[in-house]
Amino acid sequence: MINRSRQMWLIATFICLFTVTGNAQSTDSPKASPQTESLKRATQAMGKLDKDGNGTFEKQENVRAFNRRQKLDTNKDDVLTIKELQRERKNYLATNGEQKLDVVYKRVGRRELQLDLYYPTSNAAGPYPVIIYTHGGGWAAGSKQGAANGSFAAVFSKLLDHGFAVASVDYRLYRKDGPIAMRDCVIDSKDAVRYLAKNANSLNLNPSQCFTMGDSAGGQIAQMLLLTSPESLAGDVVLSGTEYQMVAGVSWYGPCDFEKTDLFNHDDRADFRDRFGPRILLPDSDPADKIALYREMSPINYLAKNSPPLLMIQGDKDTTIPVKHAYYMKQKADTLAAPVEIKIVKNAGHNWRKVDADIEPTREEIVDLTVQFFVNHLTSTVQ
């Protein structure tokens, strides 16, 4: 006999599939109600989280994912139902332009990877230049919803006003029990760019004007998107061979090199711990491959004289991703005559946290500096 939770999940799945099928039949279908959308999201989430297929999500099935939704467990029984998952709210960038939300750009097994695409608020006809945003979170946390938070929302809102489209990307996240590594995060993000370029005509985007921005782990991914060739780090075979052109990119406090371990020391003390090594190497990785894998994930190794322009903004008191990364990238760029600019933020820790005194420049000035960098390179590209 089917228990009540399983029965509710099956009914919700049927409703969700019926809604999706019905909407797919006509582009003139009315927009789904908030209740239907929340049910759809909850059903999709349950399909991913409910490993034993009993219609509920128990904490022991994925402790980390459950803890992120702890507040939804109102009766504190360490079990989430469809009804409880429906209360989860996604945060999207508030704009006056067109939006395409939760667009599936790739499937990996049962997992659907999504992006949010925001269109300019101007009356320009397109095709539009597009900025791909890769979120931070140590390659192990965060989501595309980060684009709607704090300073990121300020950056992207201004860029939308300047005629850019913005695509905020989800990618698979590292887990200690595997099998996702940093390499997969980068490949997924590259596949998001490939998807946007492959579908550029229908999405009204210009694949020759791709820009990228990321923070922390997302800063490393953004650097990789910017500096690696479109065909490198192949992922989904459906998207392979897609051409696009990167124009410029911005990295907020992102690392550039994993092989040179002393870059992760905040000062001159020899207290380095290989914090991110396990996120590059899987448990079954051959130790002989360690250096090659570290080098593959280090953006600095792809820097060349003809690389697209990169702006790195780093805090001078950041202990998570020390400012040494910016100085080291700039040093190599100057040797190669590569177009890299750095901006050092005084009194700033990770995420522009104030350390000892007010940060200089201010958050507002960092936002304006970031926006202006993109605008300057868009102008030069158009000309």
Sheet holding 340-345, edge to edge: 99-108, 111-118, 165-169, 128-134, 205-215, 246-252, 310-315, 340-345
Which region among 54-63, 118-127, 262-271, 286-295 has the lowest average model confidence (pLDDT)? 262-271
| Tokens (6 digits) for 91 | 């945060």
116 pLDDT above the threshold of 50: yes
157 pLDDT above the threshold of 60: yes
Amino acid at 224: M
Cα separations in angstroms, 111 against 21, 57, 65, 130, 367: 19, 16, 15, 25, 34
Which region among 63-77, 133-147, 352-366 has the lowest average model confidence (pLDDT)? 63-77
- Could you tell me the pLDDT band of residue 380, with boundaries at 50, 70 and 90? low
197 pLDDT above the threshold of 50: yes
Q: What is the DSSP letter of 145?
A: G
What would the mean pLDDT of 274-288 be, rounded to a whole number?
85
In whole angstroms, how large is the CA radius of gyration of the chain? 21
Interacting residues of 1 by C-beta distance below 8 A, sequence separation 6+: none
- Across all residues in the chain, what is the average pLDDT? 88
- Could you tell me the pLDDT band of residue 8, with boundaries at 50, 70 and 90? low
Give residue-wise pLDDT tens across range 205-261.
999 999 999 999 999 999 999 999 999 999 999 999 999 999 999 999 999 999 998
Find the helix or strand (DSSP H, E) in which 18 lies: helix 4-24
172 pLDDT above the threshold of 60: yes
Spatial distance between the Cα atoms of 201 and 205, rounded to a whole number of angstroms:
6
Max intra-chain CA distance, the chain:
71
Contact between residue 222 and residue 167 where contact means Cβ atoms under 8 Å apart: no
| Tokens (6 digits) for 237 | 């075979």
Tell me which residue has tokens 């789904």.
32
Sorted by where each begins, the domain ranges of the chain are 4-85, 99-382
- Could you tell me the pLDDT band of residue 103, with boundaries at 50, 70 and 90? very high
Give residue-wise pLDDT tens across range 326-368.
999 999 999 999 999 999 999 999 999 999 999 999 999 999 9
- Which of the pair, 359 or 84, is modelled with greater confidence? 359
290 pLDDT above the threshold of 70: yes
The proportion of the chain whose per-residue pLDDT surpasses 90, expressed as a percent, equals 67
Cα dihedral across residues 152, 180, 320, 191: positive or negative: negative
What would the mean pLDDT of 169-186 be, rounded to a whole number?
91
What would the mean pLDDT of 290-309 be, rounded to a whole number?
97
Cα dihedral across residues 364, 208, 115, 143: positive or negative: negative
Contact between residue 211 and residue 164 where contact means Cβ atoms under 8 Å apart: yes
Classify domain 99-382 at the CATH topology level.
Answer: Rossmann fold (3.40.50)
**Displacement of CA 174 from its chain's centroid (Å):** 13
Amino acid at 357: A
Q: What is the pLDDT of residue 31?
A: 45
The structural architecture, per CATH, of the domain 4-85 is Orthogonal Bundle (1.10)
Tell me which residue has tokens 């929302």.
153
Q: What is the pLDDT of residue 108?
A: 94
Give residue-wise pLDDT tens across range 17-64.
444 333 333 333 344 555 676 787 788 778 878 888 899 999 988 886
Query: What 3-state DSSP class applies to 99?
Result: strand
DSSP 303-358: --TTPPPEEEEEETT-SSS-THHHHHHHHHHHHHT--EEEEEEBTB-GGG-BBSB-
Spatial distance between the Cα atoms of 93 and 148, rounded to a whole number of angstroms:
4
Tell me which residue has tokens 């904490």.
59
